[in-house]
A and B are shown apart, each in its own frame.
Chain A
């Protein structure tokens, strides 16, 4: 059964609206500062509109940036620590399918007597976004 999908295109509308508000802000600030013999009440009104318009622009862009920062999911790099039970041999390799902690991997190439096994599996640091 088909399920209703959420709509798309919200950030485009906000960008257009922010652009319109920026134009309105610039126009009203121009009117407030450059009109000779302007009534002080009208001047305050123009400045208020300009402040509101610029606030909208700033808020909408900071909100969008936060949205972008969440970003897409990136799988972290997983590593396996291989150690020898007899000598000090230690190797860190990329995790391979089928690896698990305490899995025996055969004889040590360094001392040739000890068994190599996976001592730990981990991921380092937060995944890059």
Chain B
């Protein structure tokens, strides 16, 4: 019996497990959607039912540009992302007319987390039904093997949705947290899109700290901001230090700090491209100080050990600028990440 129907029995068992996982994903996406509706109603004070409009946002998509001729693709992607961001923000503002600009940012992040959960559910359901329809054990096995990781990620998105609904800082906010500590009580000004800058002195060096404007959920456009600051200083910047959260390997401790070379910034790559381009033109070294955390920790409320790593990062920046620059030099310190729940 086992020789004859072993594979069929195994497939049936895998299908049961995927069923179970899919039900959890469905529960996650419904929880996130309910939370979004509840938060929009509470904060946004809409005049009509926001449900249908939120449903439309949940199904939103972005068509990436043609890459057969890759020249100029970064500009095209950047433009698309700007349009998407502006539209999303405008849509959220329309759904929640009573929300202030900071709350609109948080709601936008919340809708994005719900969108992510909805998309995960739709993709997994697609492959599950496809595997069932075609009776393909290979589709089923792959899905069953990946499902625990997908559920973990979905659970993190649900945690993120709760953090966004309440405006709590998330693990990814360690970069902005460090920058905000550097710019505390200093005069701030806004440069480029949603990025704030302040000047401070550190070990006799002029430090220009920048971060996305908080406390609303926002990552800003640090690439454009760094470019503007370098141009303002006519290229006379001796180094750029980027502080960001980075994904740790299993077995590593959360909140551990590591130092490296290059632009520490995630996302699709447009901001990194701009920083690398500008640094290359002006021959400015770019250093990275990262705080290790898991993907789940990066999008859920900030853990104590990550928050405490902030002070150690500042010490690391101090020793880095002592080693790599001279007194009187100008240094850019960029706090990269989502600044939700972090002011300046």
A78 contact set on B, CB distance < 8 A: 166, 168, 301
Q: Taking the complex as formed, is A102 at the interface, i.e. its CB lies under 8 A from any CB of chain B?
A: yes
Cα-based distance from A70 to B17 in the complex (angstroms): 13
Closest B residue, CB atoms, query A77: B301
Complex: A118 Cα to B216 Cα, angstroms: 16
Residues of B contacting A102 in the complex (Cβ-Cβ under 8 angstroms): 180, 184, 342-344
Q: Does B20 touch A at the CB level, under 8 Å?
A: yes
Tell me if A114 counts as interface (CB < 8 A to partner B). no
Q: Check if B273 is an interface residue, CB within 8 A of chain A.
A: no
Interface flags, A84-107, vs B, CB<8A=1, else 0: 000000000001011111110000
B23: contacting residue among A6, A99, A121, A123, CB under 8 A: A6
> Quick one: given A10-B17, A121-B341, A122-B301, are A97 and B166 in contact (CB under 8 Å)?
yes
A40 contacts B by Cβ under 8 Å? no
Q: How far is the CB of B62 from chain A (nearest CB, A)?
A: 23
Q: Tell me if B20 and A122 are in contact (CB < 8 A).
A: no
Which listed residue, B2, B13, B155, B341, touches A73 by the CB 8 Å rule? B155
Nearest Cβ distance between residue B91 and chain A, in whole angstroms? Answer: 21
Interface size on A, residues (CB 8 A): 32
Q: How many A-B residue pairs have CB under 8 A?
A: 98
- Does B303 lie within 8 Å of A123, measured CB to CB? yes
Q: In the bound complex, do residue A122 and residue B307 qualify as a contact, i.e. CB atoms below 8 Å apart?
A: yes
A128 at interface (Cβ–Cβ under 8 A)?
A: no
| CB-defined contacts of A52 to chain B, threshold 8 Å | 2
- A122-B303 in contact given A13-B16, A73-B158, A102-B184 (Cβ < 8 Å): yes
Partner of B303, one of A4, A13, A75, A124: A124
Report the minimal beta-carbon distance from A106 to chain B, rounded to whole angstroms: 16
B26 at the interface (CB under 8 A from A): yes
Q: Which of B16, B128, B158 contacts A10 (CB 8 A)?
A: B16
B215 sits at the interface (CB 8 A): yes
Contacts of A98 in B (CB 8 A): 167
Nearest A residue to B20 by beta-carbon distance? Answer: A10
Q: Is the pair B169, A101 in contact by a Cβ cutoff of 8 Å?
A: yes
CB closest residue in chain B, given A70: B151
Q: Does A76 contact B (CB under 8 A)?
A: yes
**CB <8 Å contact, B167 and A100:** yes
Q: Are A100 and B28 in contact (CB under 8 A)?
A: no
A36 interfacial by beta-carbon distance below 8 Å: no
Measured in the bound complex, the distance between the Cα atoms of B307 and A124 in whole Å is 10
Return the contact of B342 from the options A73, A75, A100 (Cβ within 8 A).
Answer: A100
A121 CA to B170 CA in the complex, in Å?
Answer: 9
Residues in chain B near residue A120, CB distance under 8 A: 177, 307, 310
**Chain B nearest Cβ from A13, distance in angstroms:** 7
Question: Are A121 and B162 in contact, with the CB atoms below 8 A?
Answer: no
List 17 extra interface pairs beyond A6-B19, A7-B19, A76-B159, CB under 8 A: A6-B128, A10-B19, A10-B20, A14-B13, A67-B20, A73-B28, A75-B159, A76-B301, A95-B168, A100-B341, A100-B343, A102-B184, A103-B215, A120-B307, A122-B306, A123-B300, A124-B304
A-B CB contact pairs (8 Å), 20 listed: A6-B23, A6-B125, A7-B19, A14-B16, A70-B148, A73-B159, A95-B166, A95-B168, A99-B341, A100-B169, A100-B214, A100-B341, A101-B169, A101-B342, A103-B215, A120-B307, A121-B301, A121-B307, A121-B341, A122-B306
Give me the interface of A with B, judged by CB distance under 8 Å.
Answer: 3-8, 10-11, 13-14, 52, 67, 70, 73, 75-76, 78, 95, 97-103, 120-125, 127
